[in-house]
Each structure stands twice: as structure tokens, then as C-alpha cells.
């Protein structure tokens, strides 16, 4: 959940809360586990656990150098995860990161919702334009439904609209697009826009020629966009829980 910061991005507030972590010349077990975790995740340890030297007073105005570490946010997170929650600083850090993780999840969910809503609106506009185009070329509403259904069957690799509703667990009175992931909605929109363009440019007439065009466009889109029915079913379940 964390964007790994550059080595110069030191998280001072959290680092202060973790002040009890004294690296010194020897690493504690908690700190070493954190460094091992960083390394095992294929991150550069020195980018997150930066070794520094600082001066400390030893009495009578004298000072001496000691080894210390500066930590990035990611390093603080690893230390918190590997630390003892009985210690106040670790308990605070664990709570902090838990709250920040949830906040990030909510932000990402909102962004995903907005992106999906925008894609859905674009598809609606494309289908409205297609409906108008084919009506002007002698195709009625029932014909539009057949054209769109055959296009969906081509896009979904031979699965009909009814098949997709069953796979997604969609009720008969709801369109599958309400439960499809954003990428799939965008694929449907692309195929529909291609059909609109070619119908207008070639001045295609009648249901048969427009159907052939729409089916071919959906097949072409399917070749360039990966489809996973398992992923579609999972997304459908999530959409039913969070419509």
C-alpha cells in the first residue's frame, strides 16, 4: 500500500515515535528482521535504512560520534510490523499504518468508482449513437437488440448475453455492463465506436450488414484485450455486494 520513497524522503514524525529503536553498532532482532524483509522484497536496503553518524554529549561539554539510522516511511512500517506491540511507540506506529492503509484503500476505491462510472457513461453514449445510426438505416429497436447481443457474444468468446448474466450472477432485469470491470466496459465501448464509425463512413444499410460489421469489430477488440471469465465472475460478485 506504500509508494516506496526515495532515500531522501525521511519520515520524521514516525521516526521520532520509534526513537526507542537504537540501532547503535549492533542491530536488534526486530531491526534485523525489518532489514531482512526489505531485502527479501527486492528493495535496496540503503534507500530505506540510511546509516548516519551523529554527535551526542557525554558530559562536561564533550561529545562523541555514534552510529544511527534514518528511516523512510517504508522502513518505519517494517519496523512497526516486526516490533513489540506492548511498547507504546510500536503500538502507535501499527495503529497509524493501519489507518493510513485503510485511507488509501478508500481513496483507490473512489478513484475506481469514478473511472468505471465515466467508462459506463461513454458506453451509453456510444450505444445511443449506434441506435440512432441503425434506426436511420432501416433497423428497428428489436434489430438493435439483436445486433448488440451478437456483438457481445463475439466479444465474450461465444458466450451470449444470457450466458454472461449467469456467469456474473446478474438478474434478468439488469444489463451485464452494470457488473463488468472498467476494462471490459471500455472494450465494449471501443467496439461500438468502431461500428459507429464504419456504419457512417461506409453508409451500411440493413440489419445484416451492420450485424456483420459489429461482430467483426468485437472479435477484433477481443484479440487485443485479455479476458478472464474467472476475473469477470469475481468482479460480478464484488459489484453485487457494492452496487
98 in a domain, yes or no?
A: no
59 in a domain, yes or no?
A: yes
What is the overall mean pLDDT for the chain?
79
Which of residues 173 and 182 earns the better pLDDT score? 182
231 in a domain, yes or no?
A: yes
Handedness of CA 149, 155, 157, 161 (dihedral sign): negative
Report the alpha-carbon distance of residue 189 to residue 150 in Å, rounded.
15
pLDDT for position 26: 41
Q: Collect all residues with Cβ–Cβ distance below 8 Å to 74 and sequence separation of at least 6.
A: 2, 4, 5, 38, 43, 48
pLDDT, tens only, 36-71: 888 898 988 888 888 777 777 777 778 888 777 788
22 in a domain, yes or no?
A: yes
Specify the range with the lowest mean pLDDT, choosing from 19-28, 36-45, 210-219, 233-242. Answer: 19-28
- Please give the tally of structural domains in the chain: 2
Residues 204 and 112 in one domain: yes
88 in a domain, yes or no?
A: no
Handedness of CA 184, 186, 187, 193 (dihedral sign): positive
Residues 187 and 235 in one domain: yes
Residues 44 and 137 in one domain: no
Residues 147 and 229 in one domain: yes
150 in a domain, yes or no?
A: yes
Residues 174 and 234 in one domain: yes
Residues 131 and 69 in one domain: no
Grid coordinates in use for 77?
Answer: 512500517
Q: How confident is the model at residue 8 (pLDDT cuts 50, 70, 90)?
A: very low
Q: How confident is the model at residue 189 (pLDDT cuts 50, 70, 90)?
A: very high
Q: What residues make up the domain containing 127?
A: 105-241
Percent of residues, the chain, with pLDDT higher than 70: 80
Q: Collect all residues with Cβ–Cβ distance below 8 Å to 85 and sequence separation of at least 6.
A: 91, 94
Residues 142 and 76 in one domain: no
Which of residues 117 and 176 earns the better pLDDT score? 117
Report the alpha-carbon distance of residue 82 to residue 28 in Å, rounded.
11
What stretch of H or E contains 66?
A: strand 62-71
pLDDT for position 199: 94
Residues 69 and 112 in one domain: no
Residues 127 and 198 in one domain: yes
The predicted model gives 101-128 an average pLDDT of 90
Which of residues 45 and 198 earns the better pLDDT score? 198
Angstrom CA distances, 51 to 27, 71, 72, stand at 12, 9, 12
207 in a domain, yes or no?
A: yes
Q: What is the DSSP letter of 25?
A: T
Residues 225 and 194 in one domain: yes
Residues 44 and 125 in one domain: no
pLDDT for position 218: 94
Residues 77 and 109 in one domain: no
154 in a domain, yes or no?
A: yes
Amino acid at each position: 500500500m506504500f509508494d516506496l520513497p526515495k532515500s531522501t524522503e525521511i519520515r520524521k514524525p514516525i521516526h521520532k515515535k520509534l526513537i526507542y529503536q537504537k540501532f547503535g553498532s549492533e542491530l536488534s532482532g526486530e531491526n534485523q528482521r525489518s532489514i531482512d524483509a526489505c531485502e527479501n522484497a527486492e528493495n535496496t536496503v540503503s534507500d530505506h535504512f540510511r546509516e548516519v553518524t551523529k554527535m551526542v554529549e557525554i558530559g562536561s561539554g564533550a561529545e562523541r560520534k555514534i552510529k544511527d539510522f534514518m528511516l523512510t516511511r517504508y522502513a518505519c512500517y517494517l519496523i512497526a510490523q516486526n516490533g513489540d506491540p506492548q511498547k507504546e511507540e510500536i503500538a502507535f506506529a501499527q495503529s497509524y499504518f493501519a489507518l493510513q492503509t485503510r485511507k488509501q484503500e478508500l481513496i483507490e476505491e473512489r478513484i475506481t468508482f469514478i473511472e468505471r462510472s465515466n467508462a459506463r457513461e461513454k458506453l451509453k453514449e456510444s450505444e445511443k449513437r449506434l441506435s440512432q445510426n441503425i434506426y436511420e438505416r432501416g433497423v428497428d429497436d428489436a434489430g438493435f437488440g439483436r445486433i448488440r447481443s451478437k456483438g457481445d457474444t463475439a466479444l465474450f468468446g461465444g458466450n451470449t448475453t444470457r450466458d454472461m448474466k449467469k456467469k456474473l450472477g446478474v438478474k434478468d432485469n439488469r444489463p451485464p455492463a452494470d457488473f463488468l470491470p472498467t476494462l471490459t466496459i471500455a472494450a465494449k465501448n471501443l467496439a461500438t465506436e468502431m461500428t459507429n464509425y464504419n456504419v457512417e463512413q461506409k453508409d451500411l444499410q440493413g440489419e445484416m450488414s451492420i450485424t456483420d460489421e459489429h461482430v467483426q469489430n468485437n472479435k477484433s477488440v477481443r484479440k487485443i484485450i485479455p479476458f478472464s471469465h474467472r476475473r469477470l465472475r469475481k468482479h460480478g460478485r464484488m459489484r453485487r455486494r457494492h452496487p
